[in-house]
Homo-oligomer: A and B are copies of this chain.
Amino acid sequence: MADLARELGVSMTTISRALSDHHSIGPATKQAVLKLAKKLNYQPNHLAAALRKGKSKLLGVIVPYIEGRFFASVVHGIETAASKAGFSVIICQSSEDVAQERKNLETLLSAQVAGILISVSRTTVDFRHFEKVRKHGVPLVFFDRILEGDNVNAVLLNDREGAYQATRHLLEQGCRRVAHFAGLQHLNIYKNRRQGYLDALQSYGLEPDETLIKDCDMTLEGGTGCMAELLKLSSPPDAVFSAGDSAVLGALQLLKSRGIRVPQDVALAGFSNEALTLVAEPMITSVDQRTEEMGQAAFRLFTELVAAEGTSFSQRQVVLQPQLFVRASSLRKG
């Protein structure tokens, strides 16, 4: 920058203003500066600017893991929106571990990020470590997974609605003993999916049967195990709505290995619309979580928080509507 100033015989202040599109700057000088900047191949030092301004163009994102379609896709949505606005994204994985999540937060804060977007790990049970973020005045946006009880800025999927639709669909196919693979109930997403399942039963005038609701870790093996237990019942289910896709695949594999037909004997539906739902045979009915939109919405919410800095403390929640993709695993009728 000093080079530019010397070359053009103006002050560094002028250079800075020209480059940052400041209002009080002559159009002529501005053009001259921009032109010379190109020629000398000037590279702005974002670090210095961030140090001076106290705000960087870095955005921190923390996810439990990045494998699989869901988080990868949300992150992609965030990144697309962020890079349009000139932000770089630092991605951290908590590996479903609170301790790691805490470290991630420290890392991001000391990297002076402008904001933090997070989906909490499943071992996160309190909000203490987020207090520090607030004290630093760093905008915090939750997405998909949040902790209940604390009012936070968040982008959520209407999990209850998605589960409701999936379960209704199974009931509409003629199933009457619909089982549910439920996830950890302290996480909003699994709690709401369970609630949607219950609501759908009720809308059909059916009493929930606790023996048909299995706690499941949402892994493939977990799904296999839960399905095996359900088959031991004197009155086994004729359908399963799982809160996750991997588990439903496990169930599918077990059913096939026992010669039980899907969907004729047992209909299946999952949640997340992962890639595997299209690879399985039959293809698996699943609820899509609007991943790209969620990422974009999360970034937008972040920018709104920045804009609304200090004006009010109103908590904002964006709720996205899920979409059910009906496939062969649940289609009994035409």
Residues of the B chain whose Cβ atoms lie less than 8 Å from the Cβ of A111:
46-47, 57-58, 88
Most chain B C-beta atoms within 10 Å of own C-beta, residue among A51, A57, A103 = A51
Residue numbers in B under 8 Å from A109 (CB-CB): 43
* A100-136 CB contacts (< 8 Å) to partner B: 103, 107-112, 136
Query: Which chain B positions have C-beta within 8 A of A110?
Result: 43-46
Chain B residues, CB < 8 A from A91 = 75, 79, 89-91
Q: How far is the CA of A50 from the CA of B279 in the complex (A)?
A: 47
Q: 8 Å CB contacts to B: which residues of A51-82?
A: 51, 56-58, 65-69, 72-73, 75-76, 79
Pull 25 A–B residue pairs with CB atoms less than 8 Å apart, ordered by A: A43-B109, A43-B110, A43-B136, A45-B51, A46-B112, A47-B50, A47-B56, A57-B111, A67-B69, A72-B72, A75-B91, A79-B91, A79-B92, A83-B92, A88-B90, A88-B107, A88-B108, A88-B111, A89-B90, A89-B91, A89-B92, A249-B279, A275-B275, A279-B279, A279-B280
Q: Report which A residues bind B (CB closer than 8 A).
A: 43-48, 50-51, 56-58, 65-69, 72-73, 75-76, 79, 83, 88-93, 103, 107-112, 136, 249, 275-276, 279-281
